[in-house]
Homo-oligomer: A and B are copies of this chain.
């Protein structure tokens, strides 16, 4: 099977797919285009968005759906439907947090963007991050049931993007999440991927 991933030259929403493909030891073409090409590429994408993964020429959008599919192949979707549910909930909670950060970060109006930063920093970020820290503490170092699942890989894969939007180190003062990150980046395939991936902002 051939895999071609199309995205901007950043980690962000494509990185969970790259993590899972790496975890599976799957070779893939990691096509990264320059931003100035986006107006040309956009109309060729299924819903005008990226990342997109082509598997044997079949074009798929929606990064979370793709990551879940790859996670099934990797045995990282839990041992039953209940665990799969708890993993899906964890992933969507991280997405809610990502969208809260994006609501600030991508605000085109400089004035309203500035007004959003203090509540983001003092309310939204501690609200979500402290919950994530507690959940990982209660689940013995992982998001769900004391074992590695794709929720953990997903969180660590998007963490650089979350930090970038937040403008701070979100793991600062959160030892459980620091330990989770250390666990994930020590997985040999993930470690090898991080060592070889392009350095991006």
Which residues of A are interface residues toward B (Cβ below 8 A)?
Answer: 47-49, 60-62, 64-66, 68-69, 72-73, 81-82, 84-85, 88-89, 91-93, 96, 127-128, 131
Question: Which one, B48, B61, B73, B92, contacts A65 given CB within 8 A?
Answer: B92
Question: Which one, B47, B60, B72, B89, contacts A61 given CB within 8 A?
Answer: B89
Question: Which one, B68, B81, B92, contacts A72 given CB within 8 A?
Answer: B81
CA distance A82 to B68 in the complex (A): 11
Q: Are A64 and B84 in contact, CB atoms less than 8 angstroms apart?
A: no
Give chain B nearest CB distance to A17 CB in angstroms. 12
Indicate how many identical chains form the complex.
2
Q: Provide the residues of chain B in CB contact with A93, threshold 8 Å.
A: 47, 61-62
CA distance A65 to B86 in the complex (A): 8
CA distance A81 to B62 in the complex (A): 15
Q: Provide the residues of chain B in CB contact with A73, threshold 8 Å.
A: 81
Known contacts A48-B127, A127-B48, A131-B47; is A92 also within 8 Å of B64 by CB? yes
